[in-house]
Structure 1
Amino acid sequence: MKIKDLDKQWEDGVAKSITFIVTKDCQLACKYCYLVGKNTKERMTWDVAKQAIDYILDHESDMSEESVIWDFIGGEPFLEIDLIDKICDYLKVEMFRRNHHWFNSYRFSFSTNGINYATDKVQHFIKKNHEHLSIGITIDGTKRKHDLNRIWKTAEMEHGIMPKPEEEQGSYDDVVKNIPLWLEQFPGAGTKVTISSADIPYIKESVLHLYSLGIHEVNINCVFEDVWKDGDDKLFEQQLTELADAIIDGGYYTDFACSFFTEQMGKPMDCQNDNQNWCGAGRMLAVDAEGNFYPCTRFAQYSLRSKKAWIIGNVHNGIDKNRLRPFLTLDRCTQSTDECINCEVASGCAWCQGENYDAADTPTVYQRSTAICKMHKARVRANNYYWNKLYRKLEKEGEREAFENRKKQKVLNVKRI
């Protein structure tokens, strides 16, 4: 059975997400990276990986989701391609041998910096598992934007010595050369773009550049950390408005997408009728090199600036449900301020549970960080501009009904893959 045939299993996202932190090392030292504790020493062993798999598959009744996403992250996951290949082979054999309900209802998922993508070992792995693979390569846009943040790590950085800006080596050229092969193997794949304060001026040109590379799905978001300066929201809105003009005037909206523009945002929310937690922490599961379990990778120590890791168990003793319990009761209203709850443009305002925890006054997951508030409101204003302009154009040209039908078909296609 191919992935495209797994309509029922993947519909509505009914999948358990299980993440292996196979390494905390990476070739890059991206300036906006939330992984503040990356290092070359903490790498998962086969013994730890096998124990984690055996525990998870032994507890099938505790993980009743119809499907599973086996996610691999780092650092850079493809630095550990040999281990990953062994893990995936073992998973396939064990799910079959146990007649596990996840057998043939799974995906192996990767977000990679793309540097090692074309190597023989990675390509062998892709060919062997292609029908069950989801791979996203992170490219931030134009060379100017990408190289501003996504720079190569140096030996000096290991000792806390940061290079001067003129000495930084960007990674754009090393990544972009692998984009054609990636798109050939995964034509519908999307990339992930991160926005921080320094690169706001390059949003418009970067999205259009990614379109020119043949990337049709650009998933883009602002960092959740408190890095925003006075005036960033105004510049952000200006860039998004200019991007909206370019997408609509250039007709890109027919075949390309940018996640900054969506009709499902910028409206009031009612806690009685729409009170879900934005984040999946607690319903997900992550395991690190030491065999510790976490409710999400953002609760591992290398992801935290000021708090202690929130460990919910390990491969030897299993999951401590008391440590997990706070996450199972999280919703929008239990962690939001009155201002957030009553905000007239609340829908679509995202948060990261790990950042909430890290930024909170006390070690709690019930205090929502509001660092992106002004950026969300700026996005809403630009989003309203986008849809108002687009629908005026469609109405004038008599194309609105056809556009609505294409949107419905795209939703159906997404569910099928």
Structure 2
Amino acid sequence: MEDKFSDLVQQNLFSESPDIPYLKSIIESNLELNSEDTNELIYSITLKLNSSLFPPVTGIELILTEGCNLACSYCFEKDMAGHSKMPRNIAAKAIDLLIDYSNDCSELHITYFGGEPLLNYSVMRYITEYAQEQSSLRNKSINFNMTTNGTLLNRSIVEYLSSNKIKVLVSVDGLRRTHDKHRKDKNGNGTFDRVYKNLKLLKEKQPWIGIKMTIMPIECKYLFDDVINLYNMGVNQFLIGPATGVSWSAQTINTYLSQLEKLYEWYFSYPRSDLRINEFDEIENKPFFGCHAGRTNIAVGIDGQISPCSKILAINNTNLLSKLGNVYLGLTNFKNRLRLNECSELHVECERMGISEEYRGGCYASNYYETGSLFIPSMKDHNFDKARHSLSEKFQQLKRITN
């Protein structure tokens, strides 16, 4: 049955705009299948084609809800409509798809995302247990992660997260003066005190605390002091990144880079076993252009539509940019996945701009916010990346001289 329609499915899926309703109607009329059986047939053929053409998918972001209890000024998801939540059946389908598309890979990654994922805590619990059960049946292991604003954590939730080994990354942009400037609740009140209280609660069960810092231009002058003090308050790991979709002047870029250099010097001058700054430790030259979005990682929206990543999904969640498919039929948009994997357009643009030897194209979403295209590099991101590499080389030289 599959062989008979495999060529038809393949031809359709490699078209510029796959016509899935037409494909389904042809199969249903010729094989006299119902809609569910037709979906299963297309899913099976699509899975085989993806497995033969592309890398395995090993990571998935689940957008458990579009809603959030905060009103952060820089939020890249602020244009997502409504407060809808992902239902159990779609979440389960997403897990099934991840396991199917992982091929022979035994270690998988699930990230709970939003909005604020804890607003859909019941589905998060359900899907955690479902994923554990299904992965065990296929001899695979799951690493769970969650990105949260930290305001809804309580003792019961923290205990559940701990017992199920769900690693929590909390969004904290700095000390109170920095954090409360942009991370406010719906009433316009700052959230630092609530988040810090819950961080201490989390640390009782998860001793290693990681935070995600989004740096706004006007607050970048506080970066060094904020990191030092947050470390002294119990934070162990920092993911630091400049805010996207906002304007950075030459002056604020220089201030940010000088703060990074100061922080870099402090970090490597006094190594600490209880501290990690990802942006300094994970500087690497990838063997491919672009990133893992659409390559080994995907994001699933509340309605089951599949995007390369949560940031790209948030650009327009009603008409997905570079849509890959849905949880019912699989990754059906082969042209889009091919563009993300080959990344020839981004490579050409980097060559045209003279940065292809030192840069791998950066974040697709950041590119889009600055240039209007996933495949034209953001020069702001390039400059930040170049500065981090320069810092790394500088301190590696100092280490060699010292040793």
If the TM-score is normalised by the length of the shorter chain, which range does it land in? 0.7 to 0.9
Residue of structure 2 equivalent to 1:354: 365
Query: What are structure 1's unaligned runs of at least 5 residues?
Result: 1-13, 155-167, 401-417
Question: Structure 2 matches for 1:12-411, cutoff 5 A?
Answer: 16-57=58-99, 60=100, 63-96=103-136, 99-102=137-140, 105-120=141-156, 122-130=157-165, 133-154=166-187, 168-225=188-245, 227-247=247-267, 251=270, 253=272, 255-262=274-281, 264=283, 275-282=287-294, 283-300=296-313, 302-304=314-316, 308-322=320-334, 323-330=336-343, 333-341=347-355, 346=358, 351-361=362-372, 365-383=374-392, 386-387=395-396, 395=402, 400=403
Structure 1, 229-238 or 369-378: larger mean CA deviation: 369-378
Q: Rate the CA distance shift 1:387–1:211 in 2: closer, same or farther, 3 A.
A: farther
Report the 3-state secondary structure (helix = DSSP H, G, I; strand = E; otherwise coil) of the residue aligned with 1:319: coil
| Cα displacement string for residues 159-192 of structure 1 (whole angstroms, at most 9, x for unaligned residues) | xxxxxxxxx4211001001222322322234222
| Cα displacement string for residues 56-115 of structure 1 (whole angstroms, at most 9, x for unaligned residues) | 44xx2664322111111001111111111111122222333xx2132xx11111011111
Q: By how many angstroms is 1:247 displaced?
A: 4.3
Q: Rate the CA distance shift 1:306–1:243 in 2: closer, same or farther, 3 A.
A: farther
Structure 1, 71-80 or 305-314: larger mean CA deviation: 305-314
Name the amino acid aligned to 2:382: C
Q: Rate the CA distance shift 1:386–1:253 in 2: closer, same or farther, 3 A.
A: farther
Name the amino acid aligned to 1:309: L
CA distance in 1, matches of 2:290, 2:230: 27
CA distance in 1, matches of 2:148, 2:369: 25
CA distance in 2, matches of 1:209, 1:232: 22
| Cα displacement string for residues 139-158 of structure 1 (whole angstroms, at most 9, x for unaligned residues) | 2221111112211124xxxx
Q: By how many angstroms is 1:306 displaced?
A: 12
Name the amino acid aligned to 2:278: S
CA distance in 2, matches of 1:202, 1:382: 19
- Contact 1:304–1:358 under 8 Å retained in 2: no
CA distance in 1, matches of 2:76, 2:354: 24
Q: Rate the CA distance shift 1:307–1:316 in 2: closer, same or farther, 3 A.
A: closer
Q: By how many angstroms is 1:337 displaced?
A: 4.1
| Cα displacement string for residues 101-131 of structure 1 (whole angstroms, at most 9, x for unaligned residues) | 32xx1111101111112252x234224413x
Q: Once superposed, what is the RMSD of the aligned Cα atoms?
A: 3.1
Q: Rate the CA distance shift 1:329–1:242 in 2: closer, same or farther, 3 A.
A: closer
Q: Give the percent of matched residue pairs that are identical in Structure 1 and Structure 2.
A: 23
- Contact 1:236–1:378 under 8 Å retained in 2: no
Aligned pairs, number: 345
- Contact 2:299–2:307 under 8 Å retained in 1: yes
- Contact 1:73–1:111 under 8 Å retained in 2: yes
Report the 3-state secondary structure (helix = DSSP H, G, I; strand = E; otherwise coil) of the residue aligned with 2:353: helix
CA distance in 2, matches of 1:41, 1:281: 25
CA distance in 1, matches of 2:124, 2:356: 46
- Contact 2:211–2:239 under 8 Å retained in 1: yes
CA distance in 1, matches of 2:281, 2:89: 44
**TM-score, structure 2 length as denominator?**
0.75
| Cα displacement string for residues 205-255 of structure 1 (whole angstroms, at most 9, x for unaligned residues) | 111012101222222122343521131122123323333454466x35565
Q: By how many angstroms is 1:383 displaced?
A: 4.7
**TM-score, structure 1 length as denominator?**
0.73
